[in-house]
Amino acid sequence: MLSKMLLGRYIPGSSVIHHLDPRAKIVCVVLFMIIVFFANHWTGYLLLILFVVSITKMAGLSLIFLFNGLKLILILLVFTFMMHLFFTKGGIVLIDATLFTIESAGVVQGVYITIRLAMLILITTVLTLTTSSVSLTDAIERLCRPLKTLRLPVHEIAMMMSISLRFIPTLMDETEKIIKAQSARGSTFMTGSLKSRMNALTPVFIPLFISAFKRAEELAVAMEVRGYQGEAGRTSYRVLDWQYKDTLAIITVIIFGVFLFMIRQ
């Protein structure tokens, strides 16, 4: 299941979303992160869901495919919902137990926050699935260029973010290989008490950390051999080309945000 994780992966394609400038996609995602807080009732959240579903279809991605690749994220969503379910008070008392009470405000708030978090995860996943790590690095560097006046190492920061993002699927694949190797040796990870399961994960974490440090060292050596010295003396092989469709995408997101803000209650 870990090998199917979509976080940090890139899937080549020829959709409209794939062909957008990576800077436009990052700006749209940032705007959506703000817009998602405008929804405060069922109509707004329904529009958010329809908007994200439309973007997913435009990117040529299947919702089932995204669901299968984000199953582990469901744990976070369920935890978020349960926290609001038990700790948010107000409204009608639905369940009055000895140790806890569940009230209508907790259910509504839990559903709202869970939907909000799920939409943010989906929209950022669409961004990484339709944008290569190289394009993301170039886009982040271009967008953060004004920060160079503050003597911030913009290029190095963008490079580290891109490398970290690309390391996620690599480590997921490595983890699954180690788990399969340990299972073949008789280790069990799904049976027994919680303590025994945690102890069984120790032979997984140790080789995983060793592999991660080894890969990081190999990457550092490869970059050094190729003469990488940060931004000094570097030019871009790929030139980002801003087109009218990129401006149109940002305007569309802004219009959606204005409409969502106008229908607030």
User: What is the per-residue pLDDT across 92-142, written as a single tens digit (0 to 9) for each?
Assistant: 777 777 777 887 888 888 888 999 998 998 898 888 888 887 788 788 888
User: What is the per-residue pLDDT across 33-44, written as a single tens digit (0 to 9) for each?
Assistant: 999 988 888 888
State the residue range of the domain holding 34: 2-262
User: What is the per-residue pLDDT across 238-259, written as a single tens digit (0 to 9) for each?
Assistant: 677 888 999 999 999 999 999 9
- The predicted model scores a pTM of 0.77
Number of domains in the chain: 1
- Say how far apart CA 241 and CA 176 lie, in whole Å: 39
| pLDDT score of 3 | 47
Grade residue 1 by pLDDT with cuts at 50, 70 and 90: very low
Looking up tokens 């997984």 gives: 204
Q: Which uninterrupted H or E stretch holds 242?
A: none
b/e for 185-212, b at 16 or more Cβ within 10 A? eeeeeeeeeeeeeeebeeebeebbeebe
Q: Which two tokens stand for residue 12?
A: 């080549």
User: What is the per-residue pLDDT across 133-182, written as a single tens digit (0 to 9) for each?
Assistant: 778 878 888 888 888 788 777 777 877 877 777 777 777 778 778 777 77
Using alpha carbons only, what angle is made at residue 252 by residues 130 and 118, rounded to the nearest 5 degrees? 55
Grade residue 48 by pLDDT with cuts at 50, 70 and 90: very high
